[in-house]
Structure 1
Amino acid sequence: MRIAVDAMGGDNAPSEIVKGCVKAAREFSDVTLVLYGKEDLIRKELDESLTNIEIVHTDEKILSEDDPVRSIRRKKEASMVKAALSVKNGENHALFSAGNTGALLAAGTLLIGRMKGVDRPGLLATFPSLSDKRSVFHMIDVGANADSKPVNIDQYATLGSQYARFVHGIESPTVGLLNNGTEENKGSMLTKEAYQLLENNKDINFVGNVEARELLNGVADVIVTDGFTGNAVLKTIEGTAMSMMTVLKNSIYNNGIKSKVGGLLLKDSLKGMKDLLDYSKYGGAVLFGVKAPVIKTHGSATSEPVYHTIRQIREMLDSQLLEELIGHFEQNEE
């Protein structure tokens, strides 16, 4: 397995990207990580004894403020572009970046290319579930397409179901449509039309509409929605978890000695709560619907999320998920 890594993407690049790659390379000897970026900066953090890390020097990088499509077309020597082209040409099997999200989506769609039969690729993210029924749930789309059509949401359901089945081993994953009520007739024109398509999709286990307040309670294995709504929900979950931990921390430190003693006694429990709400340990967001795995992790990612994302990519490649999806959509197209 060969994974192309945009070593210059993200707020903490290349230092944290390389550290995460080093940790992954030590654990997964069957994976070769090809790091694209400034060689002298990469080597500062590199363990030279590792034989499964390669470097491809690039002088350019795509900045967070760059226009996504224009930067992909004009910055031919950028680390992200060179890494994407290596996947397109079959030199590597997957693309990973913590850089400009729009540029990565453009690189995946325009350079690597869409699967035949998929109208618009979507971003899938994995979240922790607080239910005893399931440990995680998946949501797609979380930001690739602000404006979606009913057919896109229907395709997301198939893509998400296959991911849950192949990567997480869920035999018959349930699919819920994110809506403002559970009744069939609820929602916008988009969700009403999508509901009809999902209900008739024989490749999924559709359980109907679900509300946002039930997401973390394990209401379904896969949640489908448009990219605008999905991105808002993703950031709400992330922001709520961070705010909750801040409120707890302030309550402990600002309310006298009794609170501090209580906080000390609860230290392990609070750490467990923080770990439970940390969805970065499940890897990055997957751009589904392109011909090879394209994975985006948070721009502020440190070495730990980078390591978890590489582990996620390895599991995807090992599962033969993409081959199954390509065959499925090509058959439907015919």
Structure 2
Amino acid sequence: MKIKFLLLSLSVIFNVISCNGQDKKDVQLPSEKVIPSSITDNFSKSENLYFNPEEKQIFSTALNENLGKFTVYYLPVSKVDINYFENFENENNIITLYDEVNSLSYFSTADVKKINEILKNKIKSENNFKLVGTYIPKKYITVENRDEYHIDFPYSQKYYKKENGKWIFLFEKKIIKQEDDSIFNSKKYINSLVSNKKDIKNSKTQYQIDGRWMINCENGVGSLTIEGKNASLILLYNQVYIDMTELKRFDFENGISYKLKEIPEDIGNIGRNLNWKEYINDEPIAYIKMIDDKTYHFYWYGFYNKKTKKREFKENSFQQETNNEEVILKKCE
């Protein structure tokens, strides 16, 4: 399966899937092939700002043929700005058009230019916004011509946030299908990446997750055991046992992220070669998302080395047990 994009010059189409399953967005295709010194330098390459009328979201996006696709989301901080962008079209006399045949929302060419000028003026100071960036490497992208490209599923997307003028790598997530693409690029999800850690305490969703979880309860090897906010995970066929603790809850999709709790005692021969001290930090290493009370999606990111700022040990037993791209765990009674 693939998601297809058009490089439109006359109007911008926003995050709405047409009846033929294609998602069309406006991007810039640079004519010069310049490799920057850092991947994150490309987050500032787009000259234009856009507004998504469906989610009331500000973003910029650019496609580099040599590197991939770069998108930056601008999240207003103050209540005044939040309210302003919730009523952005009315505040600026902009009309959202709708293509009923293809189920697409868009703006006229004149309004696209008008929106760009308004947003540039509003975002002169980044201090009033939180910035989140996403990057899809070029190996997942096929440019068919100067007007069209497509991204095949599954693909991998990297997430960053900007703090103190620098882009900080958060994690990498595999996007399996169209549903994942919509969820993990949604306004709620992007906002959750820069929200406060007190969200765990404020979570109102009840998760029935205590117990043992496996791919196959009868003859599976890898297992995840959860008790309260703590979890233990068996990696690589009984070679490494790790303890994790909750990092953050994402109630809008019934998901929980986990970080490494402590250096494990039972690390096996493989674990002796790992940089455990560098893995103790507040970066997520695993994520679960509820399908129902007895079934969960499981995502393993790998350990985050705070010294090298890279993910390590990205394999786990669950991936070796299933031939599918998705890891789905069942609750074992």
TM over 0.5, yes or no? no
Q: Which TM-score applies when normalising by structure 1?
A: 0.29
Higher strand share: 2
Q: Which is richer in helix? A: 1
